[in-house]
Structure 1
Amino acid sequence: MLPMLVDSHCHLDFPELVAHIEDVRGLMQRNGVIGAICIGVTLDDLPRVLALSESFPEIVVTVGVHPEHTGDPEPGVKDLVALAQAPQIVGIGETGLDYYWHKDRPEWQRDRFRTHIRAARELGKPLVIHNRDATEDLLRVMVEEKAGEAGGVLHCFTESWDVAQQVLDLGFSISISGIVTFKNAAQVKDVARQVPLDRLLIETDAPYLAPTPFRGKLNQPGYVRYVAEEIARLRNIPFEEVAQATTENCFRIFPYARTRMM
């Protein structure tokens, strides 16, 4: 029997994947991936994301507006709270800060992030947080807005172990993507070795960031197995131990996922 894995962060509604959803699901089953969290990036996407969850019991979803999206209407706290009432919406996000694409560090990004944190706290649902080149401001806003009251996960973590410790101290878990399989990803490998096993999740961020040996190709949730295998190798522990821990961690953070996937 295959160990049970969950892809804690992917974008199954994106055209590259949804067009071949049965093949994607087939690979998940063959690789022991019992479910996936499909992450919302705009409010316009929500009907499409929800439709996937309604069609396939192994898929749960989140709602939010990604910091890269500049032209979208800004949701208020009441908007997000109202949209997140469906039980298959297990979290708020993808939210956070991205200064790589917005080098002027616009205040609107921080305002949007604050709105998502406030909605998550009101709902009692976890946050799914994105960070790129914005660590100092991200951590500051998380502290100011008491993000730890909602909890959640820093996805596709690529920062140093020092930053990881600060994230853990705020009550958040850390999700490792296929980047950990890249030869030059020393910092990510270091974090993957050290994060307490009960605070670790795994993800693909599909259709992006396919792990070795599929680097440069279309990523999909079934490939999360390679992330778990690399973490097991780095920690010198059985693959089954990583699979069990990361799946249980995901179910603890997103409890309704267990109901749907088990």
Structure 2
Amino acid sequence: MWVDTHCHLDAGEFGGHSASVADDAAQAGVRAIVIPAIARVNFGTVAQLAREVGNGVYALGIHPLYVPTAQESDLKALRTAIEGALADPLFIGIGEIGLDFFVPELKETPLREKQEFFFSEQLKLARDFGLPVLLHVRRSQDIILKHLRRIRVPGGIAHAFNGSFQQAQAFIDLGLHLGFGGAMTFPRSLQIRRLAAELPLPAIVLETDAPDISPAWRHPGINTPDQIPRIGEVLAELRGLPLQEVAAATSANARAALPRLASSGLSL
């Protein structure tokens, strides 16, 4: 049994075939697919999609790449959407939120300041509602950690983690889990592979970020959540563990990172 802790199942790259993509994943043993929102415009979309597929759950948030066009009213809409979703067993947290200082224009003032404002306000929502977060962390690990130390949230996942061992431990110390996926499958991704091999196994969850971050055998094609078991095979090889042990551990870790998974009604 596997969990894909980060998959944009509503993405246009799936050509309107998201249900069949989810079904293929289920056939491969992926019992849960976490579908994060990226902007106000798709809050309803991810919720509806999670209801339509047999193995979907969702999160609500505003992605840093969509912050430039976001308005403060979107934060109010997010709070309203969260309040309305709390009774939904398929709603599992706040995401995708975070900071992106890889895109040049986003790391310059005033967009950097706007990103940090939206991030901190969404952390406050996670804190106030007692919900975990799905974090976008790109060239921004230390600033993300600064905000997490100031605004304590009840755990979550640093998605597509690609930092140092020291930064990894800092996230773990704050109660976060670390997401590994397609990037780990490339032999030249030495740092990510070392992290995956040497970090404590209870800190690690698996993800695809589909349709992005395709594994080595799919690159540069479209990624899909049915690739999770094969990504898990890579993690098992790196750690020298039986595949079933990795499947059980990473699924248990996903439930620990996202406690509402346990009450989602999915057979986990």
The TM tier, using the shorter chain, reads: over 0.9
Give runs of ≥4 in structure 1 deviating > 4 Å: 75-78
- 1:43 aligns with 40
Say how many residue pairs are matched.
257
Q: 1:10 aligns with which of 2, 7, 10?
A: 7
Q: 2:71 aligns with which of 70, 73, 80?
A: 73
- 1:84 aligns with 82
Alignment of structure 1 residues 145-160 onto 2, 5 Å? 145-147=151-153, 150-160=154-164
Alignment of structure 1 residues 133-172 onto 2, 5 Å? 133-147=139-153, 150-172=154-176
1:215 aligns with 2:219: yes
Q: 8 Å contact 1:161–1:190 — kept in the other structure?
A: no
Amino acid at match of 1:67: P
Q: Deviations over 1:136-176 (max 9, x none)?
A: 211111111223xx211100111121211111111111110
Q: 8 Å contact 2:176–2:257 — kept in the other structure?
A: no
Residues 1:18 and 1:38: Cα distance change in structure 2 (over 3 Å): farther
Tell me the secondary structure at the aligned position of residue 260 of structure 1: coil
Q: 2:134 aligns with which of 109, 128, 132?
A: 128
* Shift in Å, 1:77: 6.0
Amino acid at match of 1:209: I
TM-score, normalised to structure 2, is: 0.91
- Bigger drift between 76-85 and 172-181 goes to 76-85
Amino acid at match of 2:37: G
- Bigger drift between 159-168 and 232-241 goes to 159-168
Q: 8 Å contact 2:6–2:33 — kept in the other structure?
A: yes
- Bigger drift between 107-116 and 72-81 goes to 72-81
Amino acid at match of 2:54: P
Residues 1:34 and 1:168: Cα distance change in structure 2 (over 3 Å): same
Alignment of structure 1 residues 93-112 onto 2, 5 Å? 93-101=95-103, 102-104=106-108, 106-112=112-118
1:256 aligns with 2:266: no
Which segments of 5 or more consecutive residues in structure 2 lack a partner in the other structure?
none
- 1:191 aligns with 195
Cα distance in 1 for residues equivalent to 2:15 and 2:43: 14
Identity percentage over the alignment?
30
Cα distance in 1 for residues equivalent to 2:181 and 2:39: 22
Q: 2:55 aligns with which of 45, 58, 62?
A: 58
Tell me the secondary structure at the aligned position of residue 163 of structure 1: helix
Cα distance in 2 for residues equivalent to 1:100 and 1:73: 22
* Shift in Å, 1:18: 5.6
1:20 aligns with 2:22: no
1:232 aligns with 2:236: yes
Amino acid at match of 2:266: M
Which segments of 5 or more consecutive residues in structure 1 lack a partner in the other structure?
none
TM-score, normalised to structure 1, is: 0.93
Q: 8 Å contact 1:42–1:65 — kept in the other structure?
A: yes
The alignment yields a C-alpha RMSD, in angstroms, of 1.6
